[in-house]
A and B are shown apart, each in its own frame.
Chain A
Amino acid sequence: MTSSKDQGKPPLLTVFGISKQFGGAQALHDVGLQLFPAEVVALIGENGAGKSTLMKILGGILNPDAGTIQMDGVPVRLQNPAQAMKLGISLIHQELNLADNLSIEANLFLGREMTWGGPLGLANRRAMEARSASLLDRVGLGFSPKERLANLTLGQKQLVEIARSLSLDARILIMDEPTSSLAQRESERLLQVIRELRQDGVCVVFISHRLREVEAIADRVIGLRDGKNAGELSRMEINYPAMVKMMVGRDVKLKRHQPILPKIPGLPPALKVVKLRHATSKGEGVSLEIQPGELIGMAGLVGAGRTEFAETLFGIRQRVSGEIHLTGKPIKIRRPADAIAHGMALVPEDRRHHGLILADTIRGNIALPNLDTLHKGKILNFKAIKSTAQKGVAALRIRTTGISKQAGQLSGGNQQKVVLYKWLFRKPALLILDEPTRGVDVGAKEEIYDLMRQLTDKGVAILMISSDLEEILQLSDRVLVMHENKMVGALDRDQLSEESIMRLATGANS
């Protein structure tokens, strides 16, 4: 398919000379960009390269320090989201922006409801609910439009956010990492929706660290590096190594990880779970065993109940029945503090609400779960705290002006790295990772995988929940699959394939 750019149509949007500074850090420097109707443009770059910042400027959320934005050749000023929307630019944020206290329908139409009664502005609920149903259908979410949003999982909310953007009648639709908490099936569905939008003449800007998806969908790829333009690839030039090179600025050899099966026989399993059930579990509950040094992947569709299982294991949710044994001993876990005391660690899925204290510094966030070691007689050991944080920033290449930066001011991927490091530092006996590389760039992923391997080599057991099939396939020694709050199967290394996992995950077997 040829994009409109090739046909010489006038650009929809032209941006040039955009710069943006945040307290001494130059997030964007003289960036330019052109968008045409009916094309899918992928924007790629390492974590902190400035992708989200640039898109927030287009969405009217941030004001640039310098630069010009032209829509249809006319200079425009985008002072607030409402203005941008009026011009036909809609933005799905990297982080969710929904109101949990309202229904799905109310969220879908927030800010542009269908009304009757003229100035009374009465909500035409019936019409909106009807329209909601078709929108939800389009993204494959089987909820009633009346459901309270709070009852949805992160991934499901992400789908609501996407459904919301579909109804916007936007000319330019910006999706900032829409797939980061989606599993393969939902992602594919989304890509299909994007294709349909393109057909309707919409320009979709697609940001993702899942380069396979970019390969599949993009008509054009634009790279950002250190807040500057780093080049552009046309449809023909798009391939994995080229994209990585554009992001990182040099050739990168991608390692293939070879899982090493546990080598120390005879030891009790690091974790043994017997029929663990929580309030919404179905069936007889989840049972599993992990040997020291083993990395177990856990796959499933959005809302399959993996997060809930992990949270129950970690003492966040109430256990209804079942047993947990750590290194052969049965333990009782009533709250996360207990789990941590037993040598467990959990990197939660929702980094903004559960993983980080956004207003606190990087240093404070990394220190928080590790304060039990970073003190002298309960008085803070400021020096140790500082050096720990600095080590973390270096080890995971967290892009920041310093360890005193507020976590909330980091780019999404860098926030994720902070969450990862604060738990990795503990050197736990059992590490539970829930979507560990959500929003993390390719290069950093490799480093994180290396770290995980180093840990398993030292005998740490890892349970990795991930919606990224590639990641699961690449790293897992064994894969467990969940479907509708039930454990539906376990696959050994030699049985692993995309198809075998998907068959279980979609419930085809049951």
Chain B
Amino acid sequence: GPEQKKQGGNPVTVGKVSKPKVAFVSNNPAEFWTICEAGARKAAEETDVDLQFKRPQDGTAATQIQIIEDLLVNKTQAISVSVISPDNQIEFLDGVAARIPLLCVDNDASKSKRRAYLGTANIKAGRSVGELIKKALPKGGKIALFVGQLDPVNARERRQGVLDVLEGVESKGLRISRDGEKYGAYQLLGTFTDNVDKNKAKDNAADVLAKNQGATDLALVGLWAYNAPAILSAVTDANRVGKVKIVGFDEDNETLEGIKTGAIEGTIVQNPYEFGFQSVKMMADLIRKPESVKIPEDGIMDIPHKVLTKENVQAFQTELKKLLGK
């Protein structure tokens, strides 16, 4: 019955002996975090801690901060956060870190006193996207980037990685790279945002297709999880599957299916399951036996991303299903 459902997922004090409370705060409610939560839950079960997994429903820093404040009041003993606005929340995060162990996951605030960062380097991941584009259009061509919003750092870093590779330069952090200009043999038609609305993402892609009718050297690149499926849908509707190259990011099921059929060149996956699993495990250890936790000097625990193409997608999909218990 529905009454039992609540349990297990949420902190429940069993008898008088309560388990350590830990929390994971994502940066938005996207499905990406579902995979992460699966990992986190698994770790919580294994390490016997109480886990609150919170997703700021509106994806704003303000909401994220409120959630963390409330968690602190609620005597949470360790928190992992995917920081929404890393450069500017140092002070707040330091305040948290002064009270309890704090980990950054997925989005790092490297200048803060967080214990460790677990995640993927977004510029590096972006570079892998660039490599996929190069492979798809070896002679150069036009590319259009699609992303939900451009002000979050991860979006800008991925974009930067892509453009750096196309231009053939080393990545040295964010720099100015304008729409409309050429990067190596590739012209960047534009970076199109949709405010995290897949419907609009599809319309954007359809408009770019219409504007570039007949182009044979076109690559459409989705930088957030739902972008590649939205692009694929628009390309399918315009009957240009195969004629237009698509590169995606993250492991949306439609993206994976698209790679299988060859409609999508490939995607970059970050391994969110590990994000969740590792961070909760580390939090549990930091509470119970802090001396045993080994963290590198810079605190960065790289959980490497993977490039998926037709060759390895099937294996990945099987693995993912297993992890999610489907």
* In-complex A–B contact (CB below 8 Å): no
Interface residues of B (CB under 8 A from A): none
Interface residues of A (CB under 8 A from B): none
